[in-house]
Amino acid sequence: MARLLIVDDDVITRMLLNRAMQRDGHQVTEACTGEESLKLAQKEEQDIILLDAQMPGMDGFTCCANLKASMREKCPPVIMITGLADQSSVDRAFAVGAIDYATKPIHLSILRHRVHQVLRERELMQQLATINQQLASTNRELQYLTRVDSLTQVANRRSLEETLIREWARLMRAQKPLGVILCDIDFFKRYNDLYGHPAGDYCLKQVSRLLQLSILRPVDFVARYGGEEFAILLPETDINGTMNVASRIHTNIRNAAIPHANSQAADIVTLSVGVTCSIPQATISNGDLFKIADQALYSAKAKGRNQTAVLSL
């Protein structure tokens, strides 16, 4: 069942159209002027409007144009009913936004067929819109999944590389620093050997959450770099600011006190942290910056782990 608005100043025509449409199971509302139809269309949702072209006051052409202008994409399809059979009137009906037309005297069987066709097309368009919305939602979800580590729910390496390229170019133009932190869970293989891999996965989730709690700005970026290693990008952050974030990381990890009885660094989970910072230049690459951060991480491990080492590019 569809909701139809019949607009015609002739009461006999309205009655004939009303009966024909109700026989097809449609719910009908009537208006006798263009002004009244504008109010009804905006007040009550309609699926289709049968609109007489020739009415006193506001004619159907003007009414259709006003409906389209005021309701925009919410405007229901309009079938113009006109006693004017000349081509210019038909062209005018389409020009103001009518989707179809019928001429007087009205052949009810033809009009009913056209109403059915318009409603079917409207239904198909609504179905297509729903499918497109579902596809868009699925695509957004897929885009999210391709950039997020499924275990820890932080960004994955692909997303890290894309963000690094984008931030490197932006900060090169602005001549502002980029801080980089690489973190590695100390003796994580021993953790898995002692507690099992499910516990190891949970540990990775806890550490990733603590790393996210250690950054303060939306622009700061945490990613799983690989295995038990994580990376943090800190745009527009100098070496002191980067070291402050590294200090918060150690504090948060220490306060979490995740047991690690098989570690040689402490009896809880700890991190080795490598820190570097640089203003991007054309003579160096973002890969160079990560190599330095990795060397700093290696230095922190060589010095006994559970600490931060800093190297400059």
Alpha-carbon distance 309 to 288, whole Å? 17
Alpha-carbon distance 159 to 296, whole Å? 23
Average per-residue pLDDT in the chain? 92
Alpha-carbon distance 270 to 74, whole Å? 59
Determine phi and psi for 159, rounding to 5 degrees.
Answer: -65, -40
Model pTM greater than 0.75?
no
pLDDT of residue 85: 66
Please measure the distance between the N-terminal and C-terminal CA atoms of the chain and give it in whole angstroms: 72
Q: Which of 228, 220, 227 is nearest to 180 (CA)?
A: 220
> Apex CA 307: angle with CA 155 and CA 157, to 5°?
15
Which residues share a beta bridge with 233?
180, 221
Tokens of 221: 């970026």
Query: What is the separation of C-alpha 215 from the centre of its chain, rounded to a whole number of angstroms?
Result: 24
Alpha-carbon distance 1 to 47, whole Å? 10
Using 50 as the pLDDT threshold, list the residues of the chain that sit under it: none
Burial of 113 (0-12, 13-18, 19+ CB in 10 A): exposed
Tokens of 160: 């890290």
Please give the C-alpha separations between residue 233 and each of 188, 218, 293, in angstroms, as whole numbers. Answer: 23, 11, 11
Element (H, E) at 3: strand 3-7
Residue 226 contacts residue 160 (beta carbons within 8 Å): no
Long-range (24+ apart) CB contacts under 8 A made by 109-112 are 111/17, 111/20, 111/50, 111/79, 111/81, 112/20, 112/21, 112/24
What CATH number should be reported for the domain whose range is 3-137?
3.40.50.2300
Q: Which of 142, 268, 269, 159 is nearest to 204 (CA)?
A: 269
Which residues share a beta bridge with 274?
182, 309
Q: Where are the domains of the chain?
A: 3-137, 157-310
User: Looking at this protein, which amino acid is placed at residue 144?
Assistant: Y
In this structure, how many other beta carbons lie within 10 angstroms of the beta carbon of residue 71? 14
Tokens of 30: 């009537």
The residues annotated as belonging to the active site are 228
Q: Which CATH number fits domain 157-310: 3.40.50.300, 2.40.30.10, 3.30.70.270, 3.30.70.240?
A: 3.30.70.270
Alpha-carbon distance 53 to 263, whole Å? 86
User: Looking at this protein, which amino acid is placed at residue 140?
Assistant: R
User: Looking at this protein, which amino acid is placed at residue 237?
Assistant: T
Cis peptide before 105 (omega within 30 of 0): yes
Element (H, E) at 110: helix 108-145
